[in-house]
Amino acid sequence: MLVEQRTQHPFHMYEAILAQPDAFAQTIRHNDKAIDRLAALIASYKRLFIVGIGTSYHAAQVGEHFMRVYGGELFTQGVHAFDFALSGPNLTSKDCVIGISHRGNKLYTLDSLRRAREAGCCTAMITGEGTKIVQADFTISTVPQEKSSAHTVSYVGSLAVLASLAERIGYHQNGRRILPTSFLLEELPRVLHTALTTEGDVALLAREHLNRRRFWLVGGGPSAITAYEIALKIKETSYLQAEGSSIEMMLHGSLQCAEAADLFILVAPAGAAQRRVVELAGLLKEIGTAFLIISDGTYPLIQPASAGWCTVPPVPEPFTALTCLVPLQLFAYYLALERRTNPDSFRLDDPRFARARALVRL
């Protein structure tokens, strides 16, 4: 795919971020019948494994949360495709395996699906539009191929499929709808549009904190996955040191690496992990490390002690993986602008990295 290379704002990544609210609803509408057929089949299986790599692995992990809450009694696990392909669980014909790959060509995701087919599993692939060869029983396309190597809208497209799939599986298992269709097609896109209005605030925060030694992103439950995803985006686009962590991993050792020159970003919307994440703020005050808060306004008491905050609308906990995501994607983008790096390029505009990338198949 030939892509117009951009050298200044707006880069392709920026336009992809802005497209996400509408893409979420459109992906569900365009795949409504296919999602329902797949859900009806999966509802009769014993186990569901969702596999991917990088951002697609993070989508698989969020998908696990969707399935736990909305997918009835189906056992579901998000697994890294590398681990699944090489040392995954024993499979039977009563299992289903879903691969996620926007380009549709990731080596170990394809190997995972091959392994599943050989075991007699039902297989499906969630992928971008125009993917040529997908060896799976079902293929569900999300959004057009991204022009930026920092995938954003394709992640949200995958989450749209997984959220709708979870709701449909739950319906086919128990005959009732826990999640109204209007929430996915109307309310959540509106909420994501509101989350985009944080752009001015996060652009200022990116400028203010550009020169931090290291960025730490911390959350629990779905917000831990957001922490991992945004740390990855910062590394991909700004080439800065960024670490995503679950709250307990942070408290059980990683915190000892923190310094006053660092910046913590606490992803703390309402949910089971919120109180524990907020407790970290007190520790950071003691060691003199600044922190930002991304939340839904449900825990305002720590805002005065923070270096800044960003508030998004409240949603059911699994969907905070989308609402808190958007301002942090913008934060990563504006860090890249301030650093004067190209967020679309995956650093392939540097000949050293281009040569290195040519040495391995992803």
Q: Which residues of 135-156 are buried (b: 16+ CB within 10 A; e: fewer)?
A: ebbbbbbbbbebbbbbbbbbbb
* Residue 121: predicted pLDDT: 98
Look at residue 168 in the predicted model and tell me its pLDDT: 97
pLDDT value of residue 41: 97
pTM above 0.85, yes or no: yes
d(CA 316, CA 141): 26
Strands of 231-332, DSSP E: 242-246, 263-267, 290-295, 308-311
Q: Thinking of the domain 12-194, which architecture would CATH place it in? A: 3-Layer(aba) Sandwich (3.40)
DSSP string spanning 132-179?
Answer: ----SSEEEE-SSPPSSSS--HHHHHHHHHHHHHHHHHHHHHHS--SS
Beta strands in the chain (DSSP E): 47-52, 75-80, 95-101, 122-127, 138-141, 215-219, 242-246, 263-267, 290-295, 308-311
Q: Could you list the mean pLDDT of each consecutive 10-residue stretch along the chain, which spans 362 residues?
A: 86 98 98 97 97 98 97 96 97 98 95 97 96 87 97 98 98 90 96 98 98 98 98 98 98 96 97 95 95 90 83 97 98 98 96 95 94
Q: Respond yes or no on whether the N-terminal peptide bond of residue 10 is cis (omega within 30° of 0).
A: yes
Domains 12-194 and 197-339 share a fold: yes
Sequence ranges of the domains in the chain: 12-194, 197-339
Q: Which CATH number fits domain 197-339: 3.40.50.10490, 3.40.50.2300, 3.40.640.10, 3.40.109.10?
A: 3.40.50.10490
